[in-house]
Amino acid sequence: MNTFGRIFRITTFGESHGKAVGAVIDGCPAGLELAETDIQPLLDRRRPGTSPLATQRQESDRIEILSGTFEGKTTGTPIAVMVRNEDAHSTDYDAIRDLFRPGHADFTYQEKYGIRDYRGGGRSSGRETVGRVAAGAVAMKFLAKKGITVTGRIVEVHGKSDPKEIESEILAAKNAGDSVGGIAEIVAHGCPTGLGDPVFGKLDALIAGAMMGIGAVKGIEIGDGFAVAQKFGSENNDPMTATGFLSNHCGGILGGISSGQDIVVRIAVKPTPSIAKLQQTRDVHGDAAEIAVKGRHDPCIVPRIIPVAEAMLALVLIDALLEQEKYIS
Which residues, in sequence order, are bridge partners of residue 181? none
Question: Does the structure show a pLDDT above 90 at 86?
Answer: no
Return d(Cα 162, Cα 180) in angstroms, integer.
Answer: 15
Helix (H), strand (E) at residue 69? strand 69-70
pLDDT tier for residue 82 given thresholds of 50, 70 and 90? very high
pLDDT at residue 241, rounded to an integer: 97
The span from the CA of 196 to the CA of 22, in Å, is: 28
Residue 46 has pLDDT above 60, yes or no: yes
State the residue range of the domain holding 185: 3-328
**d(C-alpha 102, C-alpha 147), whole Å:** 44
Interatomic CA distance for residues 60 and 126, integer angstroms: 16
Whether residue 196 is predicted with pLDDT greater than 80 in this model: the reply is yes
Mean pLDDT, rounded, for 146-173:
97
Percent of the chain with pLDDT over 70: 97
pLDDT for residue 149 is more than 60: yes
The amino acid at 110: Q
Sign of CA dihedral 191, 192, 193, 195: negative
Contact 129, 214 (CB under 8 A): yes
Q: pLDDT confidence of 57, banded at 50, 70, 90?
A: low
- pLDDT value of position 73: 98
* Per-residue confidence (pLDDT) for residue 326, from 0 to 100: 80
**Angstrom distances, CA of residue 94 to CA of 89, 90, 99, 121:** 10, 7, 10, 12
Whether residue 329 has pLDDT greater than 60: no
Nearest to 38 by CA among 5, 65, 68, 70: 65
**Torsion over CA of 205, 207, 212 and 217, rounded to 10 degrees?**
-130
User: Which pLDDT does position 245 carry in this prediction?
Assistant: 97
Q: How confident is the model at residue 175 (pLDDT cuts 50, 70, 90)?
A: very high
Question: What domain count does the chain have?
Answer: 1
Q: What is the mean pLDDT of residues 57-71?
A: 90
Query: Which is higher by pLDDT, 193 or 119?
Result: 193
Is the pLDDT confidence value at 147 over 90? yes
State mean pLDDT over 42-58: 80
Q: How confident is the model at residue 93 (pLDDT cuts 50, 70, 90)?
A: confident
What pLDDT, on a 0 to 100 scale, did the predictor assign at position 167?
A: 95
**pLDDT score of 56:** 67
- pLDDT, tens digit, 9 for 90 and up, residues 219-264: 999 999 999 999 999 999 999 999 999 999 999 999 999 999 999 9
Residues 249 and 236: beta-carbon distance below 8 Å:
yes
**High-pLDDT (> 90) share of the chain, %:** 82
Predicted local confidence at residue 126, as pLDDT? 86
Return the pLDDT at 75.
98
Task: Tell whether the model's pLDDT for residue 27 goes beyond 60.
Answer: yes
Q: Output the domain CATH number for residue 124.
A: 3.60.150.10
Asked if the model's pLDDT at residue 188 lies above 60, the reply is yes
Strand 63-65 relative to strand 20-26: parallel, antiparallel, unpaired?
unpaired
CB 132 within 8 A of CB 313: no
Is residue 121 over pLDDT 60?
yes
When pLDDT is averaged across residues 95-120 and rounded to a whole number, the result is 90
Smallest Cα–Cα separation from 7: which of 318, 328, 297?
A: 318
Residues ≥6 apart with Cβ < 8 Å to 255: 198, 202
- For the segment 268-307, what is each residue's pLDDT rounded down to a tens digit? 999 999 999 999 999 999 999 999 998 778 999 999 999 9
pLDDT-derived band at 33, boundaries 50, 70, 90:
very high
